[in-house]
Chain A
Amino acid sequence: MEPLTMLILLPLIGAVLTYVFGKGNEESAKHIALLFSLLTLLASIPLIPMFMSNPESLYPSVNYKWLTIFDKEITFSLGVDGLSLPMILLTTVLFVVAILASWNRITYRLPEYYALMLLMEMGLIGIYESLDLFFFYVFWEFVLIPGFFLIGIWGGKEKTYAAMKFFIYTHVGSLFMLIGFLKLLFATNTTNIIAIEKTLSLSIEEAKLVFLLLFIGFAFKIPFVPFHTWLPHAYTQAPSPVTLILAALVSKMGAYGLIRLAFSFFEDFFQLYSYPLALLGLLSIFYAGFLALAQDDIKKLIAYSSVSHMGFVLLGLLSFNLTGLNGAIFQMVSHGLIVAMLFLACGIMNQHLKTRLISQLSGVARSMPKVGWSMVYASMASIGLPGLSGFVAELLILFGLYNAVKMGIMPLWVLVLAALSIGLTTGYYSFMLQRAIFNSPNDRVKKVKEVLTSSEAVALAVLIILIAFLGLYPFHAVEIISQASEKLLAR
């Protein structure tokens, strides 16, 4: 069977089976879900050699007419290139991690939970594979639904508020995007992304409007400040495996759309508006960075830090050269892994210690060494320590930005501020580590014994290895990504 279609169908079949068999025997739901997430992972790995041997062979891989209304054409078209391949691999890996992390965390309504998780995986893979705006939009909205229930049913104390906010807020964003899509459809009579790229011709005024609509739509999802306030609620209220998915993958939907559609259709406007966009990126980096410093709740701290790091993606795009673009895409992958690990470690801590407040924690490394040190490791990765993946992304983005400065399309202070933000990031992470993970344990922490289940240990180990591998030897990853960047710049 065609590999890309299979990647979408596998989690879907898995979801149905999980639900059906899970109804009879709750425990079996976990096993079926794990099995199918592993199968999906296995199915995604052959894409690497296929892509490496011939990058264009999978773009598109499936392509046929689906529906024609008058002269408007909707196609069913799937494809993978250097931008979507890393995202798909990230998705398939992180769902295995998330299901392992859910193993002992989720205690009620297992069949529904695991089925929804797999549905979400299907939606995400669908987005990254779609080469047609119609299906892109369908999958895009589809992801919201499992997300809504996963937060609303298995979430924390304010889960209803958080789920509603997540749903409505990001849905409003999607509407901007939808209007943009409709405009594109009427301008080109097709929804096929490759066809649009070739035939798109809009007047400047119209193009400007569509660009803004798409940009705002994606800005809600990524999110950029000031469209971000759904995020702290959703991230803190969702159960930590779901938070892991939201932060690592759902926010990447926005960044992915930004590059795949907004950037590739309207690169000119990124250049035209490079100053205000750079300011927006810096605003996200610093505003969220300062907020992270103020948080007492570790999960909220990670949430804001996540917003802050996504600002770097925008800066990388604005450099308009291979180095910066590679950095931006690399940052998406690296940030996905790192933030997943942070939320995972934070979730395990919370489960045993019954609190996430820094002020109530102290000396976690003492009573829970494995989890505590995982937290240290992930924090170091997040502040961009060389040898771990975050550094490669930051370095490439900074290298790329200066090139843009030299070309005169970016002022120098953008680069300097971006570099200075590293100090801020180091500040809030090391401040958190000092108070929560180090120091001598308080009474609450002393009582806890570390019980790291094997599924949690495997999940952490996978992330540790991947983060170190990408950081130590980014050669192949950058090579894959570079194919997409070259294509974007050639246009």
Chain B
Amino acid sequence: MSALEYAWLIPTFPAVAFVLITLFGSRWGERSGIVAVLFTALSFILSVFVIIEVLSGKELTYENGITWISKESVGFAEEIFKFGLLIDKLAAVMLFVVAFGSLIIMIYSLGYMHGDETVHRYYAEMSLFISSMLLLVISRNILLLFIAWELVGLCSYLLIGYWYKYSTAASAAKKAIIVTRVADIGFMLGLVLLYNWLHTLDIVEIFERAPKELTEEQITIVSLLLFIGAMGKSSQVPLHVWLPDAMEGPTTVSALIHAVTMVKAGVYMVARMYPLYVLSDTAMLVVAYIGAITAFMAASMGLVRIDIKRIVAYSTMSHLGFIALALGSGSIAAGMYHLINHSMFKALLFLATGSVLHAVHARSIDIRKLGGLWKKMPITAITALVAIVSLSGLPPFGGFWSKDEILAAIKASAMHEPAYIYLYYLTMVTAFLSVAYLFRWYFIVFLGKPKSKEAEHAHESPAIMTVPLIVLAACSFIVPTVKLFGYDEVVSDWVGEYAPYHLPHLTEDEHEKIAVISAIIAVISFLTVFAVYYLKVVSSETIVRTFKPIHTLVNNKYYFDHAYNYFAERIVYVFSLLLDVLERLYDKYIVDGIAKVTLMFGDVIKKLQTGKIQDYVTLIFLGLSVLLIILSI
């Protein structure tokens, strides 16, 4: 018996939980949580078996799945709408990460969401969320991937707006669905082109046939259209505006969105379709540029935020930028490695943040009101430190190595495409900022003295929440070791099966040089933050005053939100209101006008009906004469 044959059960379990909780959840109340955790646990256990089998060399390429629409019905020779599964090494690794992260977050939820009124709705939506993401990871048909993709989007819409009684949450949810769906138009157009150009939506077939049957230009167009969808999901500039606002949901939702589901879906899709991307240098360059710009902008915005969750959100955005940058620079290994790394540490960081918020009884809080939590919540503080150290890329922790890999990949790519070299320098700057904004966050929240009553009365969270933190922190030490198992080859070899592809390679010397430079940058950055926020050599206000114009620009989020709001409120909405006025006028004057004219005409004609025989005879005579004249001509 092979666990791979039952892999379809992995997304099915949480889907069953979703159906059960939707139907009976209102009766079960908080007990729905246990159902959700159990089903997620089943998925996790199965995914463990699956990854073991896959790493031992088996693969599941299940073509004969469900036929959604038959080929006869659409007049094609090939079955296009056949939904099979594909579990190769890439999918198996991702599957494991998603299932594991989800399980931890669901268990943590039991504590975090305790006492919420409509908690069964929370568990139902979370189950659907996890199910859709698991399906996305293992789909073999890109249309099925897109269906799961959109369901992931729906769930994040519902969960961001979970506390919809707050108008900010309702508004953030709307923003998320509009931005991501506008981006998905790109994805859909990509599907439309694949459908018509290749007559297949099967991922493996696309890989096999695209190099032969499509021109490079066509491949560029398709991969960039798909990437637009990914930009929306993975919150790349300029489609990133929904992510910071998405913090309005419960912190566990943020953890799920940021660590394993929504935002990871975008970059995972790029990795999944990598054999297509590597065929187009233009597409790769665009992906790299967007990623690098996103990483930089997000890091700079994270440095000036004061909201505890928003800073973490910008950190996610920045790291997604890094992942896209890695993929765009030709290193799927670095990209996936950073993705996994980030999944673990970001889940940990969010859950630690949730623990802080739980302690101060807030949905989110200004970091300047906190402080001194180190002593009051030691487990939270230590686990958060583990997350920060790794994420920020301080040597010698995991984040440092993945950052190093990314820099090396950029440098290597720059050798044949000079445009990459700018990204190399930009990323160095971003690397400086990454260390800075996270430690600024940590110093203000956990060190110093409590600056509000809430912070003073804070105490450590219950075990149901701290145990997941400890487990995640422990795993964080294991993650870096995956590199030892030849991980690079595992995720990159399959790309080579379909496309001419090699991992970008640098000489040992150059590689070492990069490591040294980035280590120096990280340490300088750390020392700067230490000096400002701990030793308080210079007050942060002074720095802000010195760089006033830059600070204003960054603090206003580069005016992206302003521009979008202006467009939505002042242009689209006003235009629709004007159109509404036009519509009323059209209906009142033209449509009803025709009716009025008809009535008036009737009134006039009516007068001819005099009832006098002489008048009728006159009219008959006149009419006859006219008729005769016409006929004689």
Nearest CB in chain A to that of B573: its residue: A293
Nearest CB in chain B to that of A432: its residue: B174
| A229 CB contacts on chain B under 8 angstroms | 583, 586-587, 591
Instruction: Give CA–CA (A482, B154) in the complex, Å.
Output: 30
- Report the minimal beta-carbon distance from A443 to chain B, rounded to whole angstroms: 14
Nearest CB in chain A to that of B177: its residue: A430
| B161 CB contacts on chain A under 8 angstroms | 434, 438
Nearest CB in chain B to that of A437: its residue: B164
| Interface membership of chain B positions 170-194, coded 1 if the CB is closer than 8 angstroms to chain A and 0 otherwise | 1101100110011011001101110
A386-B146 in contact (CB<8A): yes
B70-A168 in contact (CB<8A): no
Instruction: Give CA–CA (A252, B96) in the complex, Å.
Output: 48
B70-A402 in contact (CB<8A): no
Instruction: Give CA–CA (A290, B195) in the complex, Å.
Output: 30
Instruction: Give CA–CA (A186, B77) in the complex, Å.
Output: 43
* CB within 8 Å for A322 and B73 given contacts A426-B181, A433-B174: yes
| A291 CB contacts on chain B under 8 angstroms | 576, 579-580, 583
Nearest CB in chain B to that of A435: its residue: B170
B196-A478 in contact (CB<8A): no
B164-A365 in contact (CB<8A): yes
B72 within 8 A of A: yes
| A387 CB contacts on chain B under 8 angstroms | 147, 150-151
| A398 CB contacts on chain B under 8 angstroms | 188-189, 192
| Interface membership of chain B positions 157-177, coded 1 if the CB is closer than 8 angstroms to chain A and 0 otherwise | 100010011110111011001
B73-A419 in contact (CB<8A): no
| A363 CB contacts on chain B under 8 angstroms | 164-165
A380 within 8 A of B: yes
- Report the minimal beta-carbon distance from A348 to chain B, rounded to whole angstroms: 19
| B583 CB contacts on chain A under 8 angstroms | 229, 291
B182-A479 in contact (CB<8A): no
B67 within 8 A of A: yes
| A396 CB contacts on chain B under 8 angstroms | 69, 74
- Report the minimal beta-carbon distance from B383 to chain A, rounded to whole angstroms: 34
A482-B165 in contact (CB<8A): no
- Report the minimal beta-carbon distance from B54 to chain A, rounded to whole angstroms: 27
Nearest CB in chain B to that of A226: its residue: B586
- Report the minimal beta-carbon distance from A468 to chain B, rounded to whole angstroms: 11
| Interface membership of chain B positions 593-624, coded 1 if the CB is closer than 8 angstroms to chain A and 0 otherwise | 00100000000000000000000000000000
A482-B185 in contact (CB<8A): no
| A322 CB contacts on chain B under 8 angstroms | 73-75
Instruction: Give CA–CA (A290, B576) in the complex, Å.
Output: 5
A323 within 8 A of B: yes
Complex partner residue of A430 from B74, B174, B184, B587, CB under 8 angstroms? B174
- Report the minimal beta-carbon distance from A309 to chain B, rounded to whole angstroms: 16
A427-B178 in contact (CB<8A): yes
* CB within 8 Å for A475 and B580 given contacts A322-B75, A386-B150, A440-B167: no
- Report the minimal beta-carbon distance from A286 to chain B, rounded to whole angstroms: 9
| B575 CB contacts on chain A under 8 angstroms | 290
A321 within 8 A of B: yes
B151-A386 in contact (CB<8A): yes
Nearest CB in chain A to that of B574: its residue: A294
A321-B75 in contact (CB<8A): yes
| Interface membership of chain A positions 51-75, coded 1 if the CB is closer than 8 angstroms to chain B and 0 otherwise | 0000000000000000000000000
B538 within 8 A of A: no
Instruction: Give CA–CA (A438, B577) in the complex, Å.
Output: 23
A431-B586 in contact (CB<8A): no
| Interface membership of chain A positions 397-412, coded 1 if the CB is closer than 8 angstroms to chain B and 0 otherwise | 0110111001000000
- Report the minimal beta-carbon distance from A80 to chain B, rounded to whole angstroms: 18
A156 within 8 A of B: no
A415 within 8 A of B: yes
Complex partner residue of A439 from B67, B167, B195, B580, CB under 8 angstroms? B167
| B62 CB contacts on chain A under 8 angstroms | none
A353 within 8 A of B: no
Instruction: Give CA–CA (A322, B580) in the complex, Å.
Output: 37
Nearest CB in chain A to that of B182: its residue: A423
A474-B68 in contact (CB<8A): yes
B182-A426 in contact (CB<8A): yes
| Interface membership of chain B positions 73-86, coded 1 if the CB is closer than 8 angstroms to chain A and 0 otherwise | 11100000000000
A323-B74 in contact (CB<8A): yes
| A321 CB contacts on chain B under 8 angstroms | 75
B572 within 8 A of A: yes
Majority secondary structure, B binding face: helix
Nearest CB in chain A to that of B67: its residue: A475
A255 within 8 A of B: no
- Report the minimal beta-carbon distance from B11 to chain A, rounded to whole angstroms: 13
Complex partner residue of B154 from A385, A431, A433, CB under 8 angstroms? A385
Instruction: Give CA–CA (A365, B150) in the complex, Å.
Output: 23
B interface, how many residues as a size bin? 35 or more
**How many residues on the A side are at the interface (Cβ–Cβ under 8 A)?**
57
A383 within 8 A of B: yes
B192-A402 in contact (CB<8A): yes
Instruction: Give CA–CA (A420, B178) in the complex, Å.
Output: 12
A287 within 8 A of B: yes
B:63-110 near A, CB below 8 Å: 66-70, 72-75
- Report the minimal beta-carbon distance from A220 to chain B, rounded to whole angstroms: 12
| A380 CB contacts on chain B under 8 angstroms | 154
Most buried by A among B146, B167, B174: B174
| A294 CB contacts on chain B under 8 angstroms | 573, 576-577, 579-580
Instruction: Give CA–CA (A137, B597) in the complex, Å.
Output: 28
| B579 CB contacts on chain A under 8 angstroms | 287, 290-291, 294
Nearest CB in chain B to that of A293: its residue: B576
Complex partner residue of B185 from A406, A423, A431, CB under 8 angstroms? A423
A182 within 8 A of B: no
* CB within 8 Å for A434 and B166 given contacts A293-B576, A385-B150, A420-B185: no
A295 within 8 A of B: yes
Instruction: Give CA–CA (A116, B121) in the complex, Å.
Output: 41
A434-B189 in contact (CB<8A): no
Instruction: Give CA–CA (A229, B583) in the complex, Å.
Output: 8
| B185 CB contacts on chain A under 8 angstroms | 419-420, 422-423
| Interface membership of chain B positions 306-333, coded 1 if the CB is closer than 8 angstroms to chain A and 0 otherwise | 0000000000000000000000000000
Most buried by B among A295, A395, A398: A395
A273 within 8 A of B: no
| Interface membership of chain A positions 474-491, coded 1 if the CB is closer than 8 angstroms to chain B and 0 otherwise | 110011011000100000
* CB within 8 Å for A399 and B595 given contacts A323-B74, A386-B146, A423-B181: no
Instruction: Give CA–CA (A395, B195) in the complex, Å.
Output: 11
- Report the minimal beta-carbon distance from A162 to chain B, rounded to whole angstroms: 12
A:350-366 near B, CB below 8 Å: 363, 365-366
- Report the minimal beta-carbon distance from B165 to chain A, rounded to whole angstroms: 4
- Extra inter-chain contacts (7) besides given A293-B576, A423-B182, A475-B67, CB under 8 Å: A168-B595, A391-B147, A392-B69, A395-B191, A423-B185, A433-B174, A482-B72
B-contacting residues of A (Cβ < 8 Å)? 168-169, 226, 229, 287, 290-291, 293-295, 321-323, 326, 363, 365-366, 380, 383, 385-387, 391-392, 395-396, 398-399, 401-403, 406, 415-416, 419-420, 422-423, 426-427, 430-431, 433-435, 438-441, 473-475, 478-479, 481-482, 486
A-contacting residues of B (Cβ < 8 Å)? 66-70, 72-75, 143, 146-147, 150-151, 154, 157, 161, 164-167, 169-171, 173-174, 177-178, 181-182, 184-185, 188-189, 191-193, 195-196, 568, 572-573, 575-577, 579-580, 583, 586-587, 591, 595
Q: Which 6 A-B pairs have the closest CB atoms?
A: A438-B164, A322-B75, A438-B170, A386-B147, A482-B73, A294-B580
**23 interchain pairs (CB within 8 A)?**
A290-B575, A322-B74, A363-B164, A392-B69, A395-B143, A395-B188, A399-B195, A399-B196, A402-B192, A402-B196, A422-B184, A426-B181, A427-B178, A430-B178, A431-B174, A434-B170, A438-B161, A440-B165, A473-B68, A474-B68, A475-B68, A475-B73, A482-B74
